[in-house]
Amino acid sequence: MRIAIVGAGGVGGYFGSRLIASGEDVTFIARGAHLDAILESGLRLESPKGDLHLRDVRATSDPATVGTVDAVLLTVKMYDLESAAASLRPLIGDHTVVVTLQNGVEAVDIVAAHVGRGHVAGGVAYVAAVIAGPGVIRHTSMDTLIFGELDGRPSARLSELEAVCLEAGFNARVTDAIEIDLWAKFARLSVFSGMTAVTRSTMGVLRGDPELFAMLKAACEETIAVGRARGIRLPESVMSEIVQMVLSLPPHAKASMLEDLERGKRLELPWLSGAVVRLGKDSGVPTPIHTFIATVLKPHVNGA
């Protein structure tokens, strides 16, 4: 399968490394020092599932040099999504699928405006991975992709993508309810990101303090309430599933937004807690905890 990965950060770098190691035809669209290091020395992956050093990795800053592909894994941050989506056209053939793997619940519409809804599938990534340095990806936990057609119908293109992902050694599944999966992750990540960032603390600290753990769960309830008010049929089990996930994470786990905050980088805050607040106002749902998180972190949203 011919795959382009737009964004070679933690998410794209991790899943792309596994796909390359299994023999798939993968090209990274990257930039800056990270791209330079990949072209010069290859891509290194540090992972509890096994380290890799991939040499002769195909990577470029210009999608126009790649040609059409079968699938695009779009893994850039939300603040880069508009410009990345505008650059995708040279990659798009008649049957190309672009899988949006952004945080939040607003990526599909942004990308569809540039390539058409028929070329877009929604996607969810559960992975803890960051760029540890130019050309180096550090993976610490989780490695699952979930993706689905926007109309919920099965498709050969996503079935093929699922198969190559499983062959590459990470979890993947096609869903017939991607909107629910997107909101289920949003309920998790908006809180995981906001709470670890606003407290500058790991998950072990948050779940070890009764007041912080109660605040985390209340923030989850806010996001779930916003989703249901907007017609998303989130299952009754979603809250217990979130709590179980929080309890199962390594104590040192922290969200990528806290990693970005510590490094003085831009934050995806407007599309996480900020989006909960904005969508909550539109739906008449109060969101006091996410309002607190979004307000306190606002001075850092554009980085150092």
List, by residue number, the catalytic residues. Answer: 185
Strand 92-100 vs strand 120-133: parallel, antiparallel, or unpaired? parallel
Contact 62, 90 (CB under 8 A): no
List the beta strands (DSSP E) in 75-220: 92-100, 120-133, 136-149, 171-174
Q: Give Cβ neighbours of residue 81 (< 8 Å, ≥ 6 apart).
A: 74, 102, 107, 110, 111
Contact 71, 121 (CB under 8 A): no
Q: How many CA atoms lie within 13 A of 101 on its CB side?
A: 30
Q: How many CB atoms lie within 10 A of CB 166?
A: 14
Q: Look up tokens 């050969």; give the residue.
A: 156
